[in-house]
Amino acid sequence: MPINFALLKELCETPGAPGHEERIREIVIRELKPLADKIEVDALGNVIAMKKGTAGGRFMIAGHMDEISFMVKFIDDRGFLTFVPLGGFDPKTLTAQRVIVHGRKDLIGVMGSKPIHIMSEDDRRKPPRLEDFFIDLGLPVDKVKKLVRVGDVVTRERTVIEMGEVYNGKSFDDRIGVFVMIEAFKKAKRGKMDVYAVGTVQEEIGIRGAMVAAHNIDPDVGVALDVTLACDVPFTDKSQAISEMGKGTAIKAYDGSVVPNWKLVDWMRSLCEAKKIPWQMEVLPSGGTDTAGIQRAGKGAAAGCISVPTRYVHSVIEMIHPKDVQASIDLLAAMIKECRADQFKLR
């Protein structure tokens, strides 16, 4: 079954800074409402679509709707904007990029910095820092101050394209997780457990939405959907690759925030083997996902994570392979259909 590229492109290109996910939320509601028995939005902004199961228990799925972004912190007397990051950035990825400032209307801007031609030799040798950049809207200060306020958010401007055998663009972290959740929810139809498909908010600044949603749902079992590093590129030792693009869905064994339930991990591997879904293991030395928020909810849940291998994470040229996307959809759909509440107890 071909990937719904039009939906994936819409999800990735629609802006959704942490705490400002409303445009993405409307797409998720549009896609899941016809399939759910109940859909609601909580006070933090998480969208929760619930479908009743046949045998009881609560199975939570989480894909975060927000993307790494910025917030305006100052407007100078010439109309240039300085900002704080919302999420983790490698400063060198900001050079020569366009952004969208979400003021009283959306405004295209560019990331500016001191031209190399007038840098000192010491300046040229230093790695770039976030505070070395500013946003130029190409407008006089009076117009800027009418349209932009301190506290307005800024997202990155980039289209999603098909390139060779892959997809390339911004915000696959984590719109691909949201996409996998939507498509698996459609494919699975109904499972043994009550399924709660949650588009979470504010993951990039501390898995806040997942913690709130999981506290309220109190799941027995949960799975987060996110990207993982595919460092299968030149100048990187194979032992540091984490995952390989095009080799299948990645089943998380560890990241900096969580050790998943080992019985759940084993079951996910067994499902892949039985259904001939290509898979690989993921051990991520640092970083975290909504998995941790699910695991720590209430009395504690059996939690795991399905990851999509992604090159150039947290940039505007993130790259994913449709084979890995489809494998992730197939694994999640199989989990929804077959998961039972009692099968992952550790004693």
Residue numbers annotated as active site? 203
122 vs 113: CA distance, rounded Å? 16
Looking at this protein, which amino acid is placed at residue 168?
Answer: N
Q: How many residues does the chain have?
A: 347
Unique residue bearing structure tokens 């939405």? 209
Burial zone of 159 (CB within 10 Å; 0-12 exposed, 13-18 middle, 19+ buried): exposed
CB atoms within 10 A of CB 20: 22
Q: Which amino acid is at 170?
A: K
Map residue 142 onto helix, strand or coil.
helix
CA distance 156 to 17: 10
Q: Where are the alpha helices (DSSP H) in the chain?
A: 5-13, 22-32, 121-125, 141-147, 172-188, 208-217, 262-275, 290-295, 322-338
Q: Provide the β-strand partners of residue 306.
A: 225, 251
